[in-house]
Structures are given as C-alpha cells and as structure tokens.
Amino acid sequence: MSTDLPESIDAWRAVAARRIYAGEVGLHRFARLAESLADCSGSCRFELTFEQDQFGAATVQIRAEAELPLTCQRTLERFLLPVQIRQTLGLLRRESDESGLPNDVEPLLVPADGELKPVELVEDELILALPVVPISPGSSEVDVQTADPGDAEETRPNPFAALAALKKQSS
C-alpha cells in the first residue's frame, strides 16, 4: 500500500502487482473540479485498488470521500456537500473489449502505453458526483411571484395598431 499518489502509473503493472494506493489529496490538486467549487479548501481521502476480477478482467476500484465546498444556487451561500464514491472501472486495451465487462463495471480505455494518472481518475469521479444545480439541503424554497400572463397582454400596446390605423386611413 502507498500513501503517496504518483503523477502517473503503469495500469497493467499495477494490476499484475495488485497495487493499492491510498491517502489524501488536497482539493487544490483537482484543476477541473476547482471550476465548480466555491473554493479549494479541504481534501479528498481515496483508495485505488488495482486487481483482476473473478473473470480475469483488469479493474481499478475507486473509493473516495470528500466534502466539496459548493455555492447554493438558492441562497448563494457556501455549503459542504458530503460525497462518497464507490466505483469499479474495467481497464480496456480496445473499445471492443467493453462487452466482456460485467454490467456494474464502467469501462475505461487505457492508452497504448498503459499510463494512467490516478489524480485524474479520482477527479473524474468527483466531477460526476457533482449535482447539476447545487442546493444546500437546509435551504428553503424561494417564493417566486409571477404576473398573470393575461394582465401583461392587456397593458402592452399592440405593435401593429399603428399599421392598422394607416390601413384604415388609406381605405
């Protein structure tokens, strides 16, 4: 087991050696994720387990936990979203090998040189865990008052009224 997360690893060697990488990474190391966060304070605890499943397919199990600082779109206030990830990725050399994976395993096409960037694996899963519209669990719904569409039509002048008046004058 390793506590240091290397910049890149050889996926096939990691599977053959049944490597486990575990530790903690600051949220500031996730550049793409940072674009969606309120700030980059905090960290993500992770564990990457490289192995072969019962059918001989190379896999990496990703376990990650973090509290992501997001901006509530209702209140525009910062809140922490707890995220727990449990995902198994099937490591593939060719896209055609995808059909051999079990249904609960997501495919991951590994480059020809076998190089994977573990930080990017964890970051991808954190990005997928983000809500489309972040809303703090404790926030209350905003009461929106809408005008009756019928009222707007009555008060707005018809833009073609001037043309109708010209048409009547010319007739």
Model confidence pLDDT, tens digit, residues 65-116: 999 999 999 999 999 999 999 999 999 999 988 888 888 899 999 999 999 9
What number is the average pLDDT over the span 24-33?
A: 94
- Domain housing 20: 9-144
Any domain includes 133: yes
What's residue 152's pLDDT? Answer: 53
Any domain includes 126: yes
Any domain includes 157: no
Any domain includes 62: yes
Q: What is the pTM of this model?
A: 0.77
Any domain includes 68: yes
**The token pair that represents 66 in the structure block:** 């973090």
With CA atoms as reference, report the closest residue to 23 among 40, 39, 36, 6.
Answer: 6
Name the E strands within 28-164: 43-52, 58-71, 78-92, 106-109, 115-116
Any domain includes 3: no
With CA atoms as reference, report the closest residue to 14 among 44, 59, 55, 53.
Answer: 59
Any domain includes 4: no
Any domain includes 149: no
Look at the chain and report how many structural domains it folds into. Answer: 1
